Structure 1
Amino acid sequence: MIPFLDLKKLNAPYKEVLTAAFKNTLHKGDYILGDAVTRFENEFADYCGTKYCIGTGNGFDALQLIFKGYKYLGKLKEGDEVLLAANSYIATVLSVMHADLKPVFVEIET
C-alpha cells in the first residue's frame, strides 16, 4: 500500500489535548449540544468574524442548511443548477437534490 497521509504523525502534537477532550466527553455524556458545542460555535463564529455559528452532525446536514438558507433568502430557487465535481461524494449530491435543486456534474481540470 502506498502511504497517502500519516494521520498518527499529523495528530501526534495534539494527542494529549484530544485524549483529554475525548475522556471529558465520555465522562459527561454530552455528545450532542451541551457546553462543548456551544463553546465551539461561539469561538468559531468569532474566528470567522460572524455573529452566529451552527454546529452540525456532518457535512450533509451543513450543506442542507446552506441550500435551504439560500432558498429562503431568494438566492436560489427550486430547480436551480448547482455545479458539482464529477467525483464528488454522494452526500454532496444528495444535499443538492434534497433541496429540490439540480446537480450538474463537471470535470475538474488540473
Structure 2
Amino acid sequence: MNLDKLPARKTKRAQKKGKAPLRDIFTIICKTDLKTECVKEFKFHPTRRWRFDYALPEYKIALEVEGGVWTGGRHTSPKGFLGDMEKYNTATLMGWRVLRTTPDELL
C-alpha cells in the first residue's frame, strides 16, 4: 500500500502552523483494503452534537476509540460514562452498530 498517493487531511493545528497533513492509517486501510469510505468525526444525530470517532455510513457501523482508560480521561468520569451510554444507546436505536476500542487496539 502506497500512502504517498492517498490524499491527506490537514488538522486545524497543522493548518495554522503550516505542518504537513496527518495521514490517518485507519481511514486509509478502509479506503484501500475494504474499498469503503470511512469518515472521521462523523455527526450522526440530527439535533445533538454527537460524533463518532470513525463511521462507515454506508453500513451504519461506528467505531469509538475510548481514550484515557488508564489516565482518568473524560470517558472514565461518572458524567462522561453516563453521557457515552446515552450516545451509544441512542445510536443503537437509530440503527447503528457501535464498536468500542482503545487506541492500542486500533493500531
The two structures have a TM-score, normalised by structure 2, of 0.27
Q: Structure 1 or 2: larger helix share?
A: 1
User: By percentage of residues, which structure has more strand?
Assistant: 2
